[in-house]
Structure 1
Amino acid sequence: MTCFPVVCEVESVMLEMQDPKTGVKSQPQRLVITTIPHAITGEDIVAWLTNCYSIEAEEAWALGTMLVAFGYIYPLQDHKRLVIKPDASLYRFQTPYFWPAQQWPVEDTDYAIYLAKRNIRKKGTLELYEQVQYNSLHKWMNHKWDFIVMQAKEQYRAGKERKKPDRVVFDCQERAYWVVHRPPPGTVSAMDYGLERMVDPNTEELLFSCLFSLFSSLVKYSVTYNKHDPFLAPCLPSNPWVTDDVTYWLLNMANVEIPTKMRVERWTFSFGELLSDPRGRDDFRLFLKKEFSGENLAFWEACEDLKWGTAATMNDKAQQVYKTFLTRGAPRWINIDGKTMEVTVKGLKHPHRYVLDAAQTHIFMLMKKDSFGRYLKSPVFKDTQKRAILTTVENAQSKMGIIILKRRPSISPIIVRQLEQEERARMATSGPVDITQVMSKLSNKGKEVPPSKK
């Protein structure tokens, strides 16, 4: 991502301001009953900017306010107003880890953990806008809220072990970061839409880099999935919707004994592709069985069954998963960390569809980072790849040609109706005529009385 040149200049200004010899003088300052190290005052910041850049006090105040608005300097007292007060108000330099140029993604999960931690510290007395966002995130992330609260408690517990000055400084740093990136309603944020505010959409260099990245991703996807995309390649060995050949469906059945080479090749694209194919899961299950870790895949499948199953069987399935994989001495016990196990077991007291998400994600990442790579190099995969059926375009074209020759053109329904009428007329003229039937029809026709006209 390319930043405005002003952002690079701001960082150079910040480095000059923090210079021990020529920068803004910092010293311990007393905040209520706590002594904060390396604190600076608003009037010192404005005075330094005025003297260093030979500008007016108003310009220095505007520049200082911009530094606070972007999060390079944070207030220790009035957290809601991201401005420089040219008085004895206390400020500190933000650690470079939180500088906007780091371009850390601002995740909702991190914000939810921060609000949950503040809710614990303040005992439920959040700001009004924070309470609204807290409730919204709780509703949206209900399936993993136990994990969020667990992380918040751990961070709160770790914070209490720090010294009080360090704890106050860290709390102010974190709060200033979220006030910049999640500002209160009605506040004009310097970031506008997050880090996109630092992108200049008018520079040709940026436009070219964005287009190049976009087309590179498209080309990479097209090259990878070229043979597997029905819009880019024909169905092999033939298209069952065009011909009468059902070989394509037979070769790509869910649990076919010998898969096609294209199907096996798709398993190597990603671990998700392998798990999404039932035949691929069977092959991966065989590999895990030989490595005595088949319980990982079994647990993942049980979580999927619980997630997409009926609501009536939810409680029974959750208890079955707990007895099979999670309880002490379980027949297929899985190895997950203590915190994830604690969150999962606590959630199973009131089970829902997503109660096992934390444990399932842990097992998924474990299989992806460890088992999947070894599976692609294992004899199990190589043997399946060797026995796979090869379907080529030449075979498809030859089969399609034979099928087209065998197919008979259909006859128009109008012609069929005309042929039937001609056949009936021919049969009527060739067969004997019953005179009594003809006379009875004529006599009945003469007796019919036409309806009277009113």
Structure 2
Amino acid sequence: RRSKHQTTFHALQIEALIMEMQNPDTGIKTQTQRVMITNIPHAVAGNDIFQWILQRLQITNEEALHLGDLFVKYGYIYPLQEPKNLTLRTDGSLYRFQTPYFWPAQNWPADDTDYAIYLAKKNIKRKGILEEYEKEHYNMLNKKINYKWDFVIMQAKEQYKAGKERKKADRYALDCQERAYWLVNRTPIMYYQQAIMKSRVKSSVSLGGLVKYSEQFLSNDPILSGCLPSNPWITDDPDFWDLNAKLVEIPTRMRVERWAFNFSELIRDPKGRQNFQLFLKKEFSGENLSFWEACEDLKYGDQSKVKEKAEEIYKLFLAPGARRWINIDGTTMGITVKGLKHPHRYVLDAAQTHIYMLMKKDSYGRYLKSPVYKEMLAKAVVPQETVKKSSNFPFGRRHLRSSPSPIILRQQEEEAKAKEAAATVDITQVMSKLDRRTTPRLPSPSSSHLHRPQQAAPQPYGPAPHTACPSPISMALESSELQQEDGCEVLVVLLHLCLLVMVFFQIKMDIPLESQICPIGSEGEDGQQRTHKDFAKEVICPWESPTEQGRAG
């Protein structure tokens, strides 16, 4: 919406200027002009429009010509003699002001139906002779709005008959206005005709060049490969800028290796030019690089001193018998000397290009093989990566740490649960540990204790058929006595093993002192009878039966 309002505002400004140009007192003088065999009223010359814009707006010739081209391009003024040439010619070419009905600010939509009526009327008038792009549009619209094509043909015939009844001058002016409008709003497609003239390169060649360039400059890309010793914008360490100063005494190895990529990389680097100048002086051709640098200073330096700089360059490098005369061909010398009569910033471009190509094709290859470049490459420094320093600036960016994905955490939890569920308890190992802990051991000769029992041979799996299963509490009590006598930490291990056995079996029974077996918490038993005097809580082993327990008692 904003762009639409801005466009309308600029269009209103242009239209106010167009109305002022048509003012009988202060505007451009119009007159009737004869075009072919028809007298056209209110015609103006292109030179008159150009001069009026110059005087009214007080602008330069280039700006006035550009503004006049825009007037013609957007349909405020249209040519009478060359309708397709939508430019302002500063000569006697005839132009005419467009009627306000066709101005862009009216926002009259260029509808397909109106354009089809215009093409159909033109086809009837010229008996099928249309431009190529108009034929394409005519056929396309015939397919697009075929459902109302009879209405289009009828309207075209009616307008053609009404036009015949007008005067010849009015009919010609109306035709020019309508043609100018459609030339602006339905311009011919010239893209493919212009594209044919362009040079074409295979996509494989172009993509290969891009890949080669990316691979060559990968190590020098601070984003993809990082920068050594560290990024000064992150670590607040200025060593990177110190090592890569323009005229540092010893450059980095990466910088020197980049000079060998191509000649433009060498000539772009001030330190590279300094080293290349040292080589050229040894070959007695240092004036070539000095002339190139002088031309760069003329082109991009202070423009108020262009004339003085150009004369100084001519006397030093180009004049006959100059102190640092350069060797260029006669044609280039003639063009340069002729241009120095009216010096400007690009007056030495021909000579500068000649010297640039001479250094690129002749001196650059020898420089890369010379001891000057090899010595600089050998003593170049390779900075080591430094540890990032924490910045004291409180508002700096916080270093974010990436957390694992919730999906990965959920998968890890499920895998851990599956492993726990799949893990089985080996009862043989548990019972063997219990047997080793509870079996009395024989006293050792080297032991200082008198009543230490010697460890017996390991028992087979489970106790004897007619022996009672040892109680965990009694085992714990006995092990506590062993711990007091032995001095080792047997009790802690044994208690943990007892807990494992109790959890594994999950069978708790009440065994009376008279060897009667009763379940713990059984219904029908009196709570007063379940005292410490009458019952003792035991764990029944899975391999013995209650009858065997009674017999053993």
Scaled by the length of structure 1, what TM-score is found? Answer: 0.44
Greater length-normalized contact order (CA 8 Å, ≥ 6 residues apart): 1
Q: Which has the larger radius of gyration?
A: 2
| Higher helix content, 1 or 2 | 1
